[in-house]
Structure 1
Amino acid sequence: MKARVHVMLKDGVLDPQGEAVRHALGALGFDGVNGVRQGKVIELDLAEGTDEARIGEMCEKLLANTVIESYRVEIV
């Protein structure tokens, strides 16, 4: 079984990487990009029957800094 964990900075947390990407896009002539938020996707290859609660524990303990990041689990 596979799961994808999408991790993003929470609203209101500054995203310097996203801002750098937004600035670079403007410098390359891509007008109209008002904001960029950059995150990460982690793909897990798990034993069959692993429940979402267990994946949530992984996120809470290691995969996401829940003080400043939110996460979403997708079973694929």
Structure 2
Amino acid sequence: MKARVTVTLKNGVLDPQGQAIEGSLASLGFGGVANVRQGKVFDIEVAGTDAESARSQINAMCEKLLANTVIENYSVEISN
């Protein structure tokens, strides 16, 4: 099974990287860009064919390592 995990900062958490990217885009002439938020994406392959088992395993990975759940949200997309 393949999975894509997307981790983003929770609303209300300051995002200095997003602010830096927003400023850089403006200086490159991309006007009208606002509220840039930076995140990370993990593509993971898990052995087996049971989507529910894979989702459970990947959620555990997120809770223990991939996301800091105090300040970050994550979403999991499972595909074959």
Q: TM bucket by the smaller chain?
A: over 0.9
Residues matched between the structures, number: 76
User: What is the RMSD of the two structures over their aligned residues, measured on CA atoms?
Assistant: 0.9
Structure 2 unaligned regions, length at least 5: none
Structure 1 unaligned regions, length at least 5: none
How do residues 1-76 of structure 1 correspond to structure 2 at under 5 angstroms? 1-48=1-48, 49=50, 50-76=53-79
TM-score normalized by structure 2?
0.90
Q: CA deviation at 1:51?
A: 2.7
TM-score normalized by structure 1?
0.95
Q: Percent identity?
A: 61
Residue 46 of structure 2 contacts residue 54 of structure 2 at CA under 8 Å; is this kept in 1?
Answer: no
Could you tell me how far apart the structure 2 residues matched to 1:36 and 1:6 are? 16
Extract structure 1 runs of 4+ deviating beyond 3 A. Answer: none
Could you tell me how far apart the structure 2 residues matched to 1:69 and 1:47 are? 27
Q: CA deviation at 1:35?
A: 1.4
